[in-house]
Amino acid sequence: MSVELLGFNIDTYSFDEAVNKAKELIDGQKVSQVVTINPEMFEYSSKDNEFSNIVKEAEMVIPDGVGVKIALKINGHNVDRIPGIDFAYKLLEKAAINNIPVAIIGAKEDIITKAIENLTEKISGLNIIYYHNGYFSDDEEIYNEINAKSPKLILVAMGSPRQEQFIYNAKKVLKPALMVGIGGSLDVWSGAVKRAPRIYQILGLEWLYRTACQPERIKRIFPTLPLFILKSMRDRYVK
């Protein structure tokens, strides 16, 4: 099931349902795209038609940040938020159990290698058959390298909108697989960036913690987050 928010259909899965749906897509016959949507992506899509279409055509759109959860609530929908990083980690665990080959693309070279080292240590049986850092300009070359290995789960951590564009274009050229945009997750898995303590996560205040640690992020929250909430209210009450 999905609900509409500012022109997009957002899936209303619980965490476990989303993981099961992703497993179905991994076993499917085409390249599928998961977008973990946040307020910045709504904002960007309002200015960029191409990006907006990418989100509309994605096979799964799950609400990542607390901002999207609040906006959905304003519009009368009580939907679980599904942090992209937790979702992706669960998919890696599933992949390990089911012997699904994985590719990971994104972040700086030392970050991705450290993240992979940590992940393979934590998740027994994890089979990462291909990885590449996220700083390249020849996408074709990377698609060819991926196709030569045939992974079934591909995590792409290049930030938005780059990762969504990379995944969307891959739909035309890659063999069937599930591709998920995971933003800054490799930075966290490598240990370079600390995730907010559990209490912040439970209260939906990860953004506050992250902004306190990296004050330069304030530009990403203001005015995007309040504007996004206002637009959701207008969508609910003024149309």
The site for ligand UDP (CB under 6 A) is made up of 106-108, 134-135, 157-160, 162, 183-184, 186-187
Maximum Cα–Cα distance across the chain: 52
Taking the complex as a whole, the smallest distance from the CB of residue 62 to ligand UDP amounts, in Å, to: 14
Based on CB atoms, which residue is closest to ligand UDP, 151 or 184?
184
Q: Which is nearer to ligand UDP, 135 or 222 (CB)?
A: 135
- Contacts of residue 60, Cβ cutoff 8 Å, sequence gap at least 6: 11, 18, 21, 22, 25, 32, 33, 34, 35
Q: β-strand 128-132 against 60-63: which pairing, if any?
A: unpaired
As measured in angstroms, the least distance from the Cβ of 115 to ligand UDP is: 9
Q: Name the H helices within 82-138.
A: 84-97, 109-122
The smaller minimum CB distance to ligand UDP, of residues 102 and 158, is found at: 158
Give min distance, CB of 34 to ligand UDP, in A: 14
Shortest distance in whole angstroms from residue 159 CB to ligand UDP: 3
Q: Which of 81, 12, 55 is nearest to 164 (CA)?
A: 55
The total number of residues written for the chain in this structure: 239
Quick one: 146 or 157, whose CB is closer to ligand UDP? 157
The residue of the chain with the least Cβ separation from ligand UDP equals 134
